[in-house]
A and B are shown apart, each in its own frame.
Chain A
Amino acid sequence: MKRAVLLLLLLAALAFPAVFTLPFPRHVMIMIFLYGALAVAWNILAGYCGQISLGHAVFFGIGAYTSTLLVAKGQLTPWLGMAAGAALAVLVSQLIGYPVFRLRGHYFAIATIAVGEIVQTLVINWDWAGGARGLFVPIKRPDSVVNFQFHQSKAVYYYIALGLLLLTLAVTRWLERSRHGYYFRAIREDQDAAASLGVHVAREKHRAIAVSAALTALGGTFYAQYVFFIDPESVLPLSLSILICLIAVLGGVGTLWGPVLGAAVLVPLSEGTRVWLGGSGKALDLLIYGGLIMIIATVQPAGLMGLARRFRRAP
């Protein structure tokens, strides 16, 4: 039954571009996939392992900047840049991990905010990388997979974004069923008790952030190749880190599908208000997010997934 529903959803997702040929619906779906993938990746560290990061924009930015710099300065295909960005994100995540994983709970979250702010400030002052002005991805024609540029139609971007989401889900699924998934949850629940049973807590946290950072960086590269312009304000802001967190919280942290559900609700809301209200509606989606989060926190802390579970249990 559940299998059949998932299969239908997948088929619908695959067929979507054939039915909706206009750019806007495709764009909304691409954003759902991208933010869904980011939230799923964040969920590995925060939802399963319990380390609430509010600095994930750092990894997103690393993905975006690495591939863009390699394209702009080294004529390297963004696909290699994507791999390099993921590798660099893993490296940085491990370095960040040493100090911040010593902190617990709120203090960890606050430290990740600080890391995010530091990185954004550094890049703003890094002229070689465009500084505060940002970087354009050099436009190349014609469309080609090697160049990761498709100006004629959003369909290819659509399938790449879908692939990205499916990849993050597959990785999460695999982790969830492995020994490490159990370790992550045990650390979230009580890291001292986990250590008393032989769990190398620091190593498992580093593992969780490595996977989470790599997947987040892939999203960053995709964003850069989709928008063709990046700057510290668009790919490294605290608001992005918070948005990723909000999406997962709304959908349900620590569940496989929760973050996707969250993205499917929040992204159309945000894209919708932006289109209908233009620049004046810029803050409205944030107002709605805030309201939703308050409702979720008081009524159903387990997020939409918790709500769905409750309905299923009811006769």
Chain B
Amino acid sequence: MSLLAVSGLTKRFGGVVANRDVAFDVRPGELIGVIGPNGAGKSTLFDLITGFLTPDAGDVRLDGRSILGQRPDVIACLGIARTFQKLRPFPEMTVVENVMIGAFQKTSDVAAARHAALRALEAVGLADRAEAHARALSTGQRKRLELARALATEPRLLLLDEVTGGVDQATVPALVRLVRDLHARGLALIVIEHNMRVIMEISERIVALQLGEVIARGTPAEIMQDRRVIDAYLGEAWRA
């Protein structure tokens, strides 16, 4: 059975349809890539899955049970963690305190949460900045912080909104390696990513969105062959 099943998901903002009849599923341990040009509805899709937005139609099922209409914190506690495209650290809290907020999901003990938070920070390579204020971090470090925060909730499914966006080129490989490691350890992920090379490299299957609709689904190889994807997104250069 699939871990997450999205079906018929539709969301309108006034006259704009941000998601129309979006459907796909995620099997346990699978890494799904979501691609699409700006405004294709990728972040809206994440907001719909995690309860930050309520769809006008459609369903989101986790383990076969609908999670539609649940609050974001309830969905988080069911095991779906996420990061935000526009990073949202708690700026006036220290790095380790930021991550503790996630860790408290599994323990109410402060010392245990701190311990778990430090472990998550080590996993993302940010342990040396544990006592710094989050506002003092660079963009790349903030990406890691958000990742650590989400990981500290010990999720079953992790939604990453733009892993490498806004990060300098030198940091990209390390972040990609991190995502691969998580996947290798059995974590299921849905990854939004603009960097084509990265997404083709890490995804098992890809969902391509355009103007809120799924225009293609398949393995990276299939997606690269898909005429609609090429026309809509990858552009002429890829056809050559």
Interface residues of A (CB under 8 A from B): 177-179, 182-183, 185-186, 189-190, 192-201
Contact = CB atoms under 8 A, between A and B. Distances in A.
Contacts of B97: 182, 185
B201 interface: no
B102 interface: yes
Interface string B4-19: 0000000000000000
Which of B91, B97, B102, B149: most chain A Cβ within 10 A? Answer: B102
Contacts of B108: 179
Contacts of A194: 73, 90, 101
* Interface footprint category on B: 20 to 34
B144 interface: no
Closest 9 A/B residue pairs (Cβ) = A189-B90, A198-B76, A193-B88, A198-B105, A195-B72, A197-B102, A186-B101, A195-B73, A198-B77
B90 A198 contact: no
B82 to A, nearest CB: 6
B73 A201 contact: yes
Given A182-B101, A196-B72, A197-B105, 9 more contacts: A183-B104, A190-B90, A194-B90, A195-B73, A196-B50, A198-B76, A198-B77, A198-B102, A198-B153
B93 interface: yes
A179 B101 CA distance: 8
Given A179-B110, A185-B92, A186-B93, A195 B71 contact: yes
Contact of B113 (A179, A199, A201): A179
B52 interface: yes
Contacts of B52: 192, 195-196
Nearest to A177: B110
A186 B72 contact: no
A195 B100 CA distance: 14
Contacts, number: 78
B92 A182 contact: no
A177 B91 CA distance: 19
A189 B92 contact: yes
B90 A186 contact: yes
B131 to A, nearest CB: 15
Contacts of B81: 196-197
A253 to B, nearest CB: 11
Interface in B79-124: 81-82, 84, 88-93, 97-98, 100-102, 104-105, 108, 110, 113
Contacts of B229: none
A178 B104 CA distance: 11
Nearest to B78: A198
Given A186-B90, A189-B92, A192-B52, A197 B149 contact: yes
B179 interface: no
A113 to B, nearest CB: 26
Given A177-B110, A179-B104, A179-B110, A196 B84 contact: yes
Contact of A199 (B89, B101, B152): B101
A193 B149 CA distance: 10
A197 B98 CA distance: 10
Given A192-B52, A198-B76, A178 B110 contact: yes
Contacts of B82: 196
Nearest to B72: A195
